[in-house]
Amino acid sequence: MQLGFWVWRRFYTCPCSVLALIIISIDPDTSIKIAFGTSLAVILPTALSRTYIHYCKKCVLIKPAVTLGLIEFLGGIIGGSIATHVLQIFSG
């Protein structure tokens, strides 16, 4: 229950932040960067602290966790690169 609430709260943080920043007359390009940065500033320490807590309780299998983390990192880089190139192609 708690995890589901946390995920949905993070899901709505960025769009609501962007909307709020646009309402107070901040440029849309700048507002989305601020919203993503703020969201990451909240999510990253929370994820790291929860991972550490689970590690201390010996609930983390290190080898699969590191493998999964590296694969996700590479997938993020590849996906971001593809999205950037597709956006450049369609925007002219």
Burial 31-48 (b: 16+ CB within 10 A, else e): bbebbeeeeeeeeeeeee
CB atoms within 10 A of CB 21: 19
Please name which of 11, 61, 8, 59 lies closest in space to residue 35, comparing C-alpha atoms: 11
| pTM: predicted TM-score of the whole model, two decimal places | 0.58
Q: What is the pLDDT of residue 72?
A: 92
Q: What is the pLDDT of residue 92?
A: 64
Q: What is the pLDDT of residue 4?
A: 54
Q: What is the pLDDT of residue 1?
A: 45
Distance CA 41, CA 48 (A): 11
Per-residue pLDDT for the chain (92 aa), expressed as one digit of tens each? 455 555 566 667 778 888 899 999 999 889 989 988 888 888 888 888 888 998 999 998 999 989 999 999 999 999 989 988 887 787 76
